[in-house]
Amino acid sequence: MSKVSRRGFLAGASASAGAIVGASAGAWFGADQAAAAAEIKSQTAVLKRKEKFYGAHQNGIELELQTFTNFVAFDLLDGVDRAAMLRWMSLLTDDIARLTQGDAALADAQPQLALGPARLTATVGFGPAMFEKLGLEHQMPDSFKNLPAFKIDALKSEFSGGDVLIHVSADDPIVLSHAVRRLITDSLGFASVRWSQQGFSNAQGVVPHGVRQRNLMGQVDGTDNPGLATDDFENLVWINDGPNWIQGGTIMVFRRIAMQLNTWDQLGRVEKEQVIGRTLDTGAPLGKANETDVIDFDAVDANGLKVIPDFAHIRRAHAHAPGERFFRRPFNYETGVSADGNPDVGLLWTAYQRNLDTQFIPVQRRLERFDLLNKWTTPIGSAVFAIAKGVQPGQVLAAELFA
C-alpha cells in the first residue's frame, strides 16, 4: 500500500479526496523547486532552528516563546468515535512529525511552503466535553474539568471551549500558516473548527536569550516562571500519575485577556508600577533593584505605607504554598483599531500545571477578588485542555486514550 493510499484510508472518504488532490499537486513540485527550497533551509539561521518532536512530552511547552502562534479548537462531528479519534491522531502525528522537522506533510498541496522547521511546534490537547462525548470520563486526569465561573470574566463563546486543541507556533508566519492549514485539512473529516486565535511575541533576535518579553501594557511578563529543564518545572508541570496516556502530559488553561490600553495609557508611571507591583524599566519588585530579587511584601515606605500595595497584582498572584505555581506562556494579540482609535489588544495567556485545584484556581480566586489590574484587563475567552504525553517513533499521539 502506498503512503498516500494509507493516508486516504485513515482519513476517510472526504479526506481521501483531499489527499488525492494533494498528491497530484505534490507531483508538480519538481526537482528544481525542491533544490531551491533545500537551499533556503540551509542558508537562513531562523529557518534552520529545530525543536525535537519525539520524547516523553509533547513539544511546544517547555521552550522559549516562538514569534508567532495560532490556537485552533475543534468540535467533534456527529458519529466520531474512539476509532475515528485514533485515525485522526494518526494523521496528526505523522504530519506534525514531518512539519516540525521542516519537511512537507504527506500529500502536501503546497510543499514549497515547508521552507524549514523555524522552531515549529504543534501540541494536541482534549477538552472536558470530548471525554463526555466519547464516554472517557474515567480517563480524565485528576482535577481536570471546566473552570468555575470567575466574577471578572466576560467570556465570549467565539473565544471559548472546544473538544480538541491544536496549538501551533513557529518563528516564521509563512511556516506557521502552512502548518496550520495542513493540520486543519487533516482534521476536517473528524471535527469542525470552533475558533482560531493568533498571537505573537518579540521577533527572534530582538530580545537577548533569557530576557523575558514585555506584554502590550509595557510590563515584563513571566518573571516567576519555573526555569526550563529544571526539577521545579518537572514537579509543577508534568503529570506523573493517573491514566498512562497523560503521564508525561499536563493540563493547559487558556485565557484570552483583553487589555483596555486607552485608559491604561492615561496613568502615570508611578500609578502603573503600583498596580503591578514592579518597576517599568527593570521589572524589579518595588523596593528592589533586579527583576528576580525576592519580593519583600512587608516593606513599608517613610510614611508607613506598604511599598507593594494590597491591591498590587504581584501580591495577589504570589503563591501561598510552594506547589501553588504554574508555567505561564503568554502571547500578545492585536486584531485592529476601532473607529475611535482604541486598539483591540491583549494576551493569549496559557498556564501549564499538574492540578487545577491546587495550582491555577486558588490563584485566580485571589485575583478576581482584589487585583486592581482587573480594571484594565478582562478575560473574554477561556478553555481547558488535557495535553497528552509525548510519543516515540512509530507511536501515535494519545493512542492509549482511544484504543
Q: How far apart are CA 94 and CA 8, in angstroms?
A: 13
CA 279 to chain centre: 27
Q: How far apart are CA 57 and CA 389, in angstroms?
A: 5
Q: How far apart are CA 379 and CA 153, in angstroms?
A: 5
Task: Calculate the CA dihedral of residues 73, 228, 290, 211 and round it to 10 degrees.
Answer: -60
Grid coordinates standing for 166? 491544536
Q: Which of 172, 221, 232, 310 is catalytic?
A: 221
Q: Is 357 a catalytic residue?
A: no
User: In b/e form, how buried is each residue of 230-240, taking b as 16+ CB within 10 angstroms?
Assistant: eeebeebbbbe
> Which residues carry out catalysis?
221
